[in-house]
Amino acid sequence: MNIQNQLRTALITGSTSGIGLELTRRLLAERWQVIGLNRSAFPSEDTDIQNALRSGQLRWVQANLTNYDSLRTALDQIKSDTDSIDVLFNNAGGSAAELRFSDQGHELHFELQTIVPYIIYMELVELLLKGQMKTVINTSTTSFNMVRQFDLNILERPAEFKKLFGPYATSKLGLSLWTREVAKSPNADGIQLLSVDPGGNNTLRGNKTSGLPFYIKPIMKWFFPHPSHGASLLYNAALSPARHESGAFLVKNKATVLRFTEQGPAVLNRVNEIYEQRFRTTQSGKTTITPS
């Protein structure tokens, strides 16, 4: 009996810890087939997760998401091994402690949280169209409400760095902006795209270096809820009976006004340009043909 043909399928990036892991646990408990696209392995001490890996209900596809060769190989594997995807959760992210750049030379937050979700969406769109739910949930944030000005030019190579309210916030804003623009385009073809704020969650992890301002950490430790709270908001956005308008930015499961929307077309144009000119270029340097 092929378990993959019996279950709804979700792909989740950033699913080995925090909100993504809690979302994975919930979907597995509800008999979903789950694909985890992650750099690191799932926790070995988690019995339910390990049982799901052994049964095939959970699959781990390894990739360094910010390295295009690694990401391309992983996505090709998913396309080869998967019949359809019902919900794509672009959840991978995080706030770095210092200014860093990807292998492609883009600011790391911009690469991971703005460009890569677009690449994954574009590469898996045909599997989404074959799914029953045809839904994309992009994990965003309300942190960008603290951003006073938004300039696409500094997303790739910012001149200065600020924890949480700098590149992290602006890259998430870029994500929400292109989500809104793609949803309005004919190419969405019936796919519902939403960007969702999972709220404040206690995602502190031991002694791992954090990009959080020092005053946020004690607040997070003592007052923020368990990551299952954020997972529920992502889950509800995808499965709510009252479907939201595609392209909406959701806060507490309610559509919320998004700022700087006049710059949305420029953000979409830039991430699509990177996708076409950088990601779709093979290792040999030959560019693949884009379907019309």
Q: Are 163 and 95 contacting, i.e. CB atoms less than 8 angstroms apart? A: yes
pLDDT score for 220? 54
3-class SS letters over the chain? CCHHHCCCEEEEECCCCHHHHHHHHHHHHCCCEEEEEECCCCCCCCHHHHHHHHHCCEEEEECCCCCHHHHHHHHHHHHHHCCCCCEEEECCCCCCCCCCECCCCCEHHHHHHHHHHHHHHHHHHHHHHHCCCCEEEEECCCHHHHCCCCCCHHHHCCCCCCCCCCHHHHHHHHHHHHHHHHHHCHHHCCCEEEEEECCCCCCCCCCCCCCCCCCHHHHHHHHCCCCHHHHHHHHHHHHCCCCCCCCCEEECCEEECCCCHHHHHHHHHHHHHHHHHHHCECCCCCECCCCC
- Collapsed DSSP state (helix, strand, coil) of residue 97: coil
Among candidates 79, 69, 87, which has minimal Cα distance to 13? 87
In sequence order, what are the residues at sequence separation of 6 or more whose Cβ sits closer than 8 angstroms to the Cβ of residue 49? 21, 24, 25, 28, 42, 43, 58
Place of tokens 């956005």: 237
Q: Which domains does the chain have, with CATH numbers?
A: 3-279 (3.40.50.720)
Structure tokens at 217: 């950490």
- With 70 as the cut, is the pLDDT of residue 213 above it? no
Average pLDDT over residues 284-289: 40
Run of H or E residues at 81: helix 68-81
- With 60 as the cut, is the pLDDT of residue 288 above it? no
pLDDT score for 226? 74
Q: What is the band of 216 on the pLDDT scale with cuts at 50, 70, 90?
A: low
Q: Are 22 and 50 contacting, i.e. CB atoms less than 8 angstroms apart? A: no
pLDDT score for 195? 98
- With 50 as the cut, is the pLDDT of residue 4 above it? no
Q: What is the band of 286 on the pLDDT scale with cuts at 50, 70, 90?
A: very low
Percentage with pLDDT > 70 across the chain: 85
Q: Quote the pTM value.
A: 0.89
CA 178/CA 188 separation, integer angstroms: 12
Q: What is the band of 211 on the pLDDT scale with cuts at 50, 70, 90?
A: low
Report the first-to-last Cα separation within the chain, whole angstroms.
39
Mean pLDDT score across all residues of the chain: 87
pLDDT score for 267? 97
pLDDT score for 283? 47
Q: Region of 10 please: left (phi>0), alpha (psi -120 to 50) or beta.
A: beta
The larger pLDDT score, comparing residue 54 to residue 198, is at: 54
The larger pLDDT score, comparing residue 148 to residue 110, is at: 110
Q: Are 127 and 79 contacting, i.e. CB atoms less than 8 angstroms apart? A: yes
